Amino acid sequence: MLVIENLFADIGSKSILKGLSLTVNAGEVHAIMGPNGAGKSTLAKLLAGHEDYLVTGGSVSYRGEDLLAMPTELRARSGVFLGFQYPVEIPGVSNTTLLKAAVNAKLKHEGKPEMDAGGFLAFVKQKVKQVAMEPKMLQRGVNEGFSGGEKKRNEILQMLVLEPTLMLLDETDSGLDIDALKVVADGINALRGPERATVLVTHYQRLLDYVKPDFVHVLAGGRIVKSGGPELALELEEKGYGWLEAA
Amino acid sequence: MNFFDSCRNSLPQDQHAQRIDAFARFEASGWPTPALESWHYSDWSSLAEKPFNIAKPALDPVFAPDRAQPLALVALDPVQTATSFALDALNRAFAKQGVDKTIDGHAQIPFLITHALAGEQVMRHLRHRLALSAGSRATVVIWDAPGIDDSDTLLTAVLTLTLAAGSHLTLIRVQDADARATRAMHLKAHIEADATLEMIQLDFGGARVRQETEITLAAPGARFEQTGLAALTGKSRVDQRSHVWHAAPRCISRSSARLLAAGSSRAILNAKVQVQPGAAKTDSETRIASLLLSDKAEIDAKPELEIYADDVQCAHGATFGQLDEDAAFYLRSRGLSAAEAQSLLTQAFAQTALDRIPLPGLKNWVEQRVSTLLVANAA
Ligand SMILES: Nc1ncnc2c1ncn2[C@@H]1O[C@H](COP(=O)(O)OP(=O)(O)O)[C@@H](O)[C@H]1O
Ligand SMILES: [Mg+2]
């Protein structure tokens, strides 16, 4: 589904990704771990289409298409979803407005008719329940005044509503209490399936107890320096990253 | 034929001597230019080359958004106080009519004053007087309506307002003039003890627009609350000047303006608060936020504060920005096009002003107006 080959990317004059390769097949869950500043968020935002990053080498294909040639919104409509490490607050644009515009953009892209207001509301309400959010938060500005945990729940809500094909979750588990962590994990698991794939950027084994990864990778110095099975996460938790970077 | 020659002979017959005198004064001073201290940014001297005819009486267009009760125009009282308006003498020379109304009690339905004009190179001049008696309450909408044929028109209006003790006026000015129109309005308000003037100023159109507001908070507890939104496109140019005098202790003024400029439009706002000697415990805040939607547009926003009293609390500030790129990326990462993201974020910028509009129909209308204007701009 996602094939990243020898990717190099800069921000400003600084090179961040330095020959990163990663293949994610449909049905798989990959966890990416690694020290702060390694380039994990850079990778996630670059895949979502952020224009601050300049790709200087390599390629990314998504379902056989050149992902890097697609504008951000087209990636989203084609099923790429990024759960942001730091979701922005957008006062004046309500969560409902965003969800409705996002769903309709996707339906339109798929050549399907827009949802009617009633159907949309019922659909969203059910998802809101799933992430244990207060329904009245839908009327608030996007993430406006939300706590860290509420912002992450809101990311999961958007993901559940959009039903993406490729889920990229950047530290969605950071700073969550156990209840919120379960909500996030349940959300991811609810969408898990043979047609979909998930890439979890995380620092903690904790999330991986709830969402069992097929593969665990270590991203350090702008590359994947080690890959393994779920046991690698346990090993990292125990030993840290120092032993890998030295190698 | 230039402006002065074209209309010298069309001065109304009543109070003819005063009109001739006023016209001569206006001709001597001429159309305002940046040479005038308060006209830094606007030059109307080219109007001197343009003839205008007096508009023929016509039916006002219907104000659709909300139910409102039109205020009748009446013949002007011959005694008129001059104002600091640079077009005061012009207005005085031609104005024959205006609203002259004293509001008592609590008016349930908003009153409406319509400023409308139709026809090419026609002009109209109005002079209104509104008074609220002690303890009364009302909402007044002044609607500067678009014409039917996007013509070149000129309208000046002077409004004198007196708010007696404890009264409350919500004054909503909707300026939606045609793209080639010239509009100038001078508002002079005198606010007595514990009275409140809540003003909402919405500007969408006009080639050449000047809005002047002079507020005197004359007695303790007087209050002025202003919310402004200018959403400009094309070649529209709106120059606003507001001056608030805190002339008594314990008065409050709040001013919050949002300026949006797209196309090659230009928004100018000079908001000055002056705290006069003895106006202790003054509480004043002025905030201006500007958003440029095109690199050909321009915004000049300047809050000013002059304090000649002790023990006051005054704040002012102006922020200036482009759209938040992180927010735009976030919206696009959810599938919204760049144009949709821009439109939503711009609407969001305007929303704090829109939320203050107390008439639901008008609020809805303005929301639509802002969003269509932005869609047209994005295209
Ligand atoms: N806008 C930026 N300008 C310059 N450097 C940046 C910018 N954003 C991130 N970086 C740098 O890029 C590197 C990778 O950052 P990031 O991808 O956020 O790391 P991670 O998510 O793995 O902690 C860091 O050294 C960070 O300081
Ligand atoms: Mg990160």
Q: What is the pLDDT of residues A155-174, one digit of tens each?
A: 999 999 999 999 999 999 88
Confidence (pLDDT) at B294: 87
Between CA A226 and CA A38 the distance in angstroms is 13
Confidence (pLDDT) at B106: 97
pLDDT band at A245 (very low <50, low <70, confident <90, very high): low
**Contact across the interface for B340 and A158, Cβ inside 8 Å:** no
Look up the ipTM and state it.
0.96
Confidence (pLDDT) at B377: 64
Q: Is pLDDT of A237 > 90?
A: no
Interface-testing mutation among A80, A88, A162, A163, with chain B (most B C-beta atoms within 10 A): A88
Encoded tokens for B199: 């003003």
Count Cβ atoms within 10 A of the Cβ of residue A13 and give its class: 0-12 exposed, 13-18 middle, 19 or more buried: exposed
Between CA A124 and CA A103 the distance in angstroms is 10
Q: Is pLDDT of A49 > 90?
A: yes
Encoded tokens for A88: 């922005």
CA distance B350 to chain A (A): 8
Of the bound ligands, which one is closest to the alpha carbon of residue A219?
A: 1
A141 touches chain B (CB under 8 A): yes
Confidence (pLDDT) at B372: 77
Confidence (pLDDT) at A2: 97
Alpha helices in A87-224 (DSSP H): 95-109, 117-130, 148-162, 178-191, 205-210
Q: Is pLDDT of A129 > 50?
A: yes
Residues of B in contact with A90 (CB under 8 A): 324, 327, 330-331, 345, 348
Confidence (pLDDT) at B297: 94
Confidence (pLDDT) at B127: 97
pLDDT band at A241 (very low <50, low <70, confident <90, very high): confident
What pLDDT digit, counting tens, does each position of A141-159 carry?
999 999 999 999 999 999 9
Partner-chain residue, chosen from B329, B331, B337, that has the shortest CB–CB distance to A98: B331
pTM of the shown model = 0.80
**Contact across the interface for B335 and A50, Cβ inside 8 Å:** no
Confidence (pLDDT) at B259: 96
Q: How far apart, in Å, are the Cα atoms of B95 and each of B8, B44, B78, B87, B139?
A: 14, 20, 11, 12, 25
Confidence (pLDDT) at A247: 46
How many Cβ atoms sit within 10 Å of the Cβ of residue A139?
10
Do residues B226 and B189 lie in contact, with contact meaning Cβ atoms separated by under 8 Å? no
> Which A residues in the span 43-62 are in contact with B, Cβ-Cβ below 8 Å?
48-51
Q: How far apart, in Å, are the Cα atoms of B254 and each of B38, B216, B241, B316, B319?
A: 22, 13, 15, 10, 16
Confidence (pLDDT) at B378: 56
The segments of chain B whose pLDDT lies below 50 read 379
Q: Is pLDDT of A112 > 60?
A: yes
